[in-house]
Structure formats: C-alpha cells, structure tokens
Amino acid sequence: MTVKPTILQELPADLEREKLPRHVAVIMDGNGRWAQRQGQPRIMGHRRGADVLKELLRCCQDWGIQALTVYSFSTENWRRPMEEVNFLMTLFERFLRQQLRELVAEDVRIRFVGDLAALPLSLQAELERAMEATRQNKGIRFTMAQNYGGRQDILQAVRTIATQVQHGQIQPEDIDEAVFERHLYTAGVCDPDLLIRTSGEMRISNFLLWQVAYAEIYVTETLWPDFDRSEFHQALRAFQQRDRRFGMVKN
C-alpha cells in the first residue's frame, strides 16, 4: 500500500519558518498495534511504516527541516520473535535499495548510527552503499538509528576516549562535553530540538539519551503508520508554542 501524497507541500501558513526545529528525532512506534487493529499480522504495520517514513522525509525537505533522525531498530528489538526481526532486516535492505536513487537525486545525506557490525552482512553492504553514494550531498541530514541504544552509544564513546587517555593522547581533565560528543555515533549533527514519539508511550526506550537533554518532547496517540503530514504539522505547531528556557528565567 502506498501513502497518498497530501496537499501540504508548502510550509503551513501558521508555522514560523525561523522557529522550526533544526533537527527532529522520531521514535516510530505502534506498527504492530496498527496492523493488529486491522486484523493483519504485525509485519504489515512495518511495511506501511516504511512508506510513512518516506513521506515524512519528503515533508521535512519540503518544509526546510535540516536534520531528521529516526529510531528504526533498537538494541533491545533483537528480543522479538525471529521471524519479525528477519522481516525487519529484509525490509530495511529493500527500502534502501528501492530508495537510493531518489535519495541521491534529492540531495539527501544518509547516515546510520548504532552497532552496525552486528547486522546481517547483506544489510551492512546496503548501508555502506547508501552512505557512500550520498556522502557528498548537501541537503537534509537523514539518520537511521539501526541496532542503536543510547547507553551503548555512550559506552562506545567512553571506551574510545579511555583508550586515548591510556595512550596519552588526551588528559582526563580535557574531556569536556564537546570532546565527548565528537565520539558519539551522532557526532557532527546538532542535538534534536524536537523528539516525537508516536503511539502514546511516555518513554525514551534507550534512544538518544545524551542528545535529547534539552529536546522538546511531543507524544501523540497516533500510531506510526497513521503519522501523516497533518500530524507532523500539529507536532511542529506544538513545538513552536513551547517556551524553551534551557534553565534560564524568561518573562
């Protein structure tokens, strides 16, 4: 099933361009429930979810969002039934193969963050191909968190820095936030300003733990396969109404 193109191609008039989040992160949740509500197997929700992701990426491009990061597979998702995990891995591979030409043409810079070495080899090859083919692109920075865990991200950064200390390349007192961030998987992209979670769950589920320190959190009851442009519009409207204080006092 393909998602119908919607009419909101231009930035909706009630959104202020200068107050858009630079970086949007999304926990795409609720695929299984969506499918089950239609009496279909869970995997049908994942299939539809991939179409919705394409549409959101396009919407971010149309509306001038600079970076989009999505949680597509967590380090904990291996605990699911093997058939579902296998289906997801194949879906990611197919998604990339089918989308790559368009991603290149649309100037998207794609990147994958997470423990990629643990993924099936054929998928790893596809991820490499996609990153390589879009490396020079200058458009939206699109990151997929694939076999990603926030704790694991922090630990791998700690290990790298500890090794550098051991070799005398850096002194412990020189480790500050900027140094630390350079070793996270997400290095080079600003922290998310807005974190969206679909399907109503009020938790982070080990997503970008360090990076969401000051993200505005928006949770919608809408299940991921139903998250369309008008839902994204609502999330952006809510974001623009927030008072981001960063610990300061504002009147």
The contact set with ligand IPE (CB under 6 A) reads 27-33, 71-74, 77, 88, 199, 201, 203, 205
Contact partner at residue 33 from Mg ion, ligand IPE, none, CB < 5 to 8 Å by partner kind: ligand IPE
Q: Which is nearer to ligand IPE, 73 or 239 (CB)?
A: 73
Give, to the nearest 10 degrees, the angle between helix 42-63 and helix 229-241: 60
Contact partner at residue 201 from Mg ion, ligand IPE, none, CB < 5 to 8 Å by partner kind: ligand IPE
Q: Which is nearer to ligand IPE, 92 or 161 (CB)?
A: 92
Contact partner at residue 134 from Mg ion, ligand IPE, none, CB < 5 to 8 Å by partner kind: none
Q: How far is the CB of 15 from ligand IPE (least distance, A)?
A: 26
Could you give the CA distance from residue 45 to residue 86 in angstroms, rounded to a whole number?
Answer: 15
Q: How far is the CB of 39 from ligand IPE (least distance, A)?
A: 14
Of all residues in this chain, which one has the CB nearest to ligand IPE in the complex? 32
Q: Which is nearer to ligand IPE, 152 or 164 (CB)?
A: 152
- Is the dihedral angle over the CA atoms 80, 86, 90, 96 positive or is it negative? positive
Q: What are the residue numbers of the active site?
A: 29, 77
Q: How far is the CB of 32 from ligand IPE (least distance, A)?
A: 3
Where along the sequence are the contacts to Mg ion (CB under 5 A)? 29
Query: Which residues, including other chains, have CB under 8 Å from residue 217's CB and lie 6 or more apart?
Result: 195, 197
Q: Which is nearer to Mg ion, 29 or 93 (CB)?
A: 29
Q: How far is the CB of 24 from ligand IPE (least distance, A)?
A: 15
Contact partner at residue 73 from ligand IPE, Mg ion, none, CB < 5 to 8 Å by partner kind: ligand IPE
Q: How far is the CB of 146 from ligand IPE (least distance, A)?
A: 9
Contact partner at residue 149 from Mg ion, ligand IPE, none, CB < 5 to 8 Å by partner kind: none
Query: DSSP assignment of the chain, as one string?
Result: --PPPPS--SPPTTS-GGGS-SEEEEE---HHHHHHHTT--HHHHHHHHHHHHHHHHHHHHHHT--EEEEEEEETTGGGS-HHHHHHHHHHHHHHHHHHHHHHHHTT-EEEEES-GGGS-HHHHHHHHHHHHHHTT--S-EEEEEEEE-HHHHHHHHHHHHHHHHHTTSS-GGG--HHHHHHTSTTTTSPPPSEEEE-TT----TTSSTTTTTTPEEEE-SS-GGG--HHHHHHHHHHHHH----TT----
Q: Which is nearer to ligand IPE, 79 or 138 (CB)?
A: 79
